[in-house]
Structure 1
Amino acid sequence: MNDPAPTSAGKPAPGAGTTDSAGLPAWRQQTEGEQRWAAMAAVLTAVALQLFLPARLTVRPHWLLPALELLLVAALFAFHPHRRLDRRSRLLRTLSISLTAAISLANGWSAVTLVRELLHSTGAPNALALLGTGGAVWATNVIAFALWYWEWDRGGPAARAAGEHAYPDFLFPQMQTDGIAPPDWEPGFLDYLYVAFTNATAFSPTDTMPLSAWAKLLMILQSAVSLLTVLLVVARAVNILQ
């Protein structure tokens, strides 16, 4: 990878982000692996939200996918009991991606079923129950996409800690300007959760820009699912109230 273009003072050009003595940007520096607790808390929240949904909106039997997700969580802890995500392993990567895919599959099924009910004016006759169900699907959608962003940006948390990838998939503000974050700053799960939440509410990027094609496509898909869910749920709730 080419080093950032130097200025006349021999320093990296503005916008090059935090650099080390060798001129490497922050995303190429080796850092301490992030702790796993925020991601695990989000996964358990998604499982709880899936169990909260009416059985008619879930894959039958109702407990199947939540049980599978909890089993994958247990497997991840068994194979990597350490609190920091700094071990690169094909098995751990497969388990982690499978967990994210299971959450996405469960919520995708629920979202499609909910949209079908709304289009046919069936399902919950109570506006409050409908808003609660729609809110659970929307929140799980935010968590699922936050996990995808976290898992795929520069190869996942372990690869980010190792500084393996030459180019980032998401450009955070801390990566663009010197002096606003520690030199060893790395985005953690909460940063990706924020990206997913703002994309689901604003239907567009806010302060963090997607750079790679897959990141842009994922953000388009998340915005589309969020917009469709919000519009149909609110419209149906208003119709019930009237």
Structure 2
Amino acid sequence: MEQISSKQNKVIKDLKKLSTHKGRKKNSQYVIESWHLVQEAINYLPKDEIIRIYTTDDQYLKHGNDINDFKITLISDEVAQELSDTATTQGIFAVCKIVPVSFDENNLHGAWLLLDYVQDPGNIGTMVRTADAAGFNGVVFGEGTASPYNSKVLRSMQGSQFHIKVVKESLLKVMDAFDAKNFPIYGSELNPEAVNYRSISPANDFALVMGNEGNGMKQELLSKTTKNLYIPITGKSESLNVAIAAAVIMFRIKK
């Protein structure tokens, strides 16, 4: 079993590059951190998509039986902290292949969440986890939305990315596919034509678009929606966080 004790080791320096978009794109790999995410990857990814697991002695003593079927490198606590994206690392990481999931417009069904220029990792993760919990088929990361392989996005999704489809695709293309199937496309915009989200009958096949935290949905996307939804606010708050709004709507309109 390989061992690395120095954070100056070339392997560790190369792993650090996977924290950048350029590094991930060049190597078609990304890193997940924490036993929970590693365990979810083991449970849901094909074995050959987990390239190697890096773990401290302490974590290997706890989880060795679960990871012994994979290539393993033991690392020091110092190296674990160097690799970590958090203040206090759990000491276990997995390097996984980036295998893009294509949007299959010919086999389109189910409920889908479309993210238009959503940039906050916490909001993205909350929405992906909520879509998973609400029984959605997948989430489309549109142009301008933070990468699903960003370490903060990965951490905030908490493994839900392994349970449902996560796709990077043009939202215009996806919306055209829903329109061709005569499936409704719901936007999230407060305007004179918008309807109360409670007026929508729950269904199985539809798209819900959530827009940028500050600017909302792009006009070119709003022009393609079947209906735009709003959530009535009876208190004094001016608006809801985009992830909270998405959760409220998703659980209401998904059958």
TM-score tier (shorter): under 0.3
State the TM-score, normalized to the length of structure 2.
Answer: 0.23
Larger strand proportion, structure 1 or 2?
2
Query: Which structure's residues are more often helix, by fraction?
Result: 1
Of the two structures, which has the highest relative contact order with CA contacts closer than 8 Å and spacing of 6 or more? 1
